[in-house]
Amino acid sequence: MAEPTNVRSMSFVGTHEYLAPEIIRGEGHGSAVDWWTFGIFLFELLHGATPFKGQGNRATLFNVVGQPLRFPDAPQVSTAARDLIRGLLVKEPHKRIAYKRGATEIKQHPFFDGVNWALVRSAAPPHVPERVDFSRYANKDSRLMDKKAVVETGSDGSRNSSDDPSYVDFEYF
């Protein structure tokens, strides 16, 4: 998990629903964006959806910046879970939980009461999937690998997204 740092970035990349407000506003950002994303992730795990989802990417970005955090009535989650999520999803990064002390502050939150952090890495997971030997895919028929993709275009040479459901139409904020 991210630790506090004074390093700033001006990048604007990521899934719209997970972007922190400071990224969207173009203010530059540090490790506090990772804690914002963790808050979005926890919210989605507990509620089945992200908190600022809009009708499209543009609406989602506006919601992240301008809408307050609201919790749905169901399912019910613990007070500690809500408190942690509220602390992680503070729109001003310098007021966000873990801004100053990083993971130490998160680990001490009541949501994680009972977690023995020293033993986490030695705990056995409930399921360990079988290994996949990817080398068996390395020697596939090279004639198939060398083929060029065929892209169908309209009479004017353009691609029409309404005719092709796999076409991705990017939106810009």
Q: Is residue 138 part of a domain?
A: no
Q: Is residue 14 part of a domain?
A: yes
> How many domains, the chain?
1
Host domain of residue 54: 1-116
Q: How many CB atoms lie within 10 A of CB 103?
A: 16
Res 134: pLDDT = 82
Res 136: pLDDT = 77
Q: Is residue 62 part of a domain?
A: yes
Q: Is residue 161 part of a domain?
A: no
Residue 75 exposed, middle or buried by CB count within 10 Å (0-12, 13-18, 19+) = exposed
Residue 69 exposed, middle or buried by CB count within 10 Å (0-12, 13-18, 19+) = middle
Res 59: pLDDT = 95
Radius of gyration for the chain, computed over Cα atoms and rounded to the nearest angstrom: 22
| Residues of the chain under the 50 pLDDT cut | 167, 170, 172-173
Q: Is residue 24 part of a domain?
A: yes
Q: Is residue 89 part of a domain?
A: yes
Q: Is residue 172 part of a domain?
A: no
End-to-end alpha-carbon separation of the chain, Å? 28
CATH number of domain containing 34: 1.10.510.10
Residues shown for the chain: 173
Res 173: pLDDT = 45
- Tell me phi and psi for residue 9, to 5 degrees: -125, 150
